[in-house]
Structure 1
Amino acid sequence: MSSPTPANVRPAEEDDLAAVAAIYAHHVRHSTASFEAEPPDIVEIARRRASSVQGGHPYFVAEQAGVVVGYAYSGPYRPRAAYRNTVETSIYLHPDAMGRGLGTLLLEALIRACERHGFRQMIAVVGDSTNRASIRLHERQGFRRVGTLEAVGFKHGRWLDVVLLQRNLGEGASSVPGAQGA
């Protein structure tokens, strides 16, 4: 058996957004990773990407053989000013690309980029407590479970939990943001 084609993780571009929208639409329709009921169109996906990038947040795609097979981005955890040093992550893979280490590549790139941007905390809000692959992916990258919100969503005929995971970035809470760290 031949080895898989190497993956390239890079910043997302406008031309990638149709693939991003298709990947996300699959998860909206067929999984509980997203709590959206209807997939957003490409115009909304472009708006979301622009908002993320304009806010100083990274937005990446993973591609293999020139095909976008996954994406990841960060955004503000919450809109209030006190949360400005904390980001929330999102990672989605094409269903045929799962289990090949692409989520790890995307999450590692996202962590590095968020640290370079000076963010201090990263939160993963994992839809559905049975989404073990996503929970394990985050735990392998140093996230720790900080809570479970039970039965806060209802999709595909069942109640869904949300698992919250958190990871320090850079100096974390050991210094004041913007101060010269030791």
Structure 2
Amino acid sequence: MLEEEYDRDRRSLPRHLRRQPEPERPFAFSIRPVEDGDIPDVREIYNHYVTNSVVTFDEDTWSIAQWREKRDQLQRLGLPFLVAQSPAGQVLGYALVQPMSSKSAYRYSVENSIYLGQAATGKGLGRALLEALITACEEAGIRQIVAVISDKGAEGSIALHEKLGFVEVGRMGRVGFKFGRWLGTIYLQKSLKPAKKSGRSGR
């Protein structure tokens, strides 16, 4: 039967007998601290950007062991590492902060990273993760967050950070070279609300 014949026959049926199209399921997720079982998904999400984009300057993919080492380091420092999870248990994206420097005077300032799985882009998840990350940083006693963003291919990330109060504070040109082209970086900074004394004494 041709498609137009099927549609005509379907419309001729009483309304209660017509097959209705499946309603689109709402995009749902929850945000929580990373767990060990999330690491393979985190690795897969990040490695996609390593091999297919210039939003990260990494050129070599990360192993699960490297990601576990990073998670353990951030836990020791009391720094947030969050994941967004679907109702079915799939990791849709992640957000974390890491020290700006190993020098102890930088202990109240961090650099953030947010990456989304390909099926989770364009649905508001990036904003939700960044908002949750900001809140977690305030609770941890962090006073400044800096985003270091590629000046090519990351326009959406720049716009998101600016919507949430990050302000551009500088640029560096041609400091990275990936996929045969020179890349620069854009620095955005956000001051956080004072939190109760956290006891962060150094790194």
TM-score of the two chains, using structure 1 as the length reference:
0.91
Which residue of structure 2 aligns with residue 40 of structure 1?
A: 62
| Partner residue of 1:147 out of 170, 173, 178 | 170
Q: Aligned residues, how many?
A: 175
Q: Which has the higher strand share?
A: 1
The CA deviation at 1:77 is: 1.1
The residue type equivalent to 1:35 in the other structure is: F
The residue type equivalent to 1:26 in the other structure is: H
Unaligned runs of 5+ in 2: 1-22
The CA deviation at 1:107 is: 0.5
The CA deviation at 1:7 is: 1.2
Alignment partner of 1:5: what SS?
A: coil
Output one character per residue of 1:47-79: Cα deviation in whole Å (capped at 9) or x when no partner: 011111211101000111311010000111111
The CA deviation at 1:3 is: 4.1
Alignment partner of 1:34: what SS?
A: coil
The residue type equivalent to 2:99 in the other structure is: P
Which residue of structure 1 aligns with residue 43 of structure 2?
A: 21
After TM superposition, the runs of 4+ consecutive aligned structure 1 residues lying more than 4 A away are none
Structure-to-structure mapping, 1:52-131, within 5 angstroms: 52-65=74-87, 66-131=89-154
Report if aligned partners of 1:11, 1:58 keep a CA contact under 8 Å in 2: yes
The residue type equivalent to 2:158 in the other structure is: I
Matched-pair identity in %: 42
The residue type equivalent to 2:192 in the other structure is: L
Report if aligned partners of 2:54, 2:152 keep a CA contact under 8 Å in 1: no
TM-score of the two chains, using structure 2 as the length reference:
0.82
Q: CA RMSD in A?
A: 1.7
Which residue of structure 1 aligns with residue 185 of structure 2?
A: 162
Output one character per residue of 1:77-130: Cα deviation in whole Å (capped at 9) or x when no partner: 111111111011010011221111111111111100100111100000112344
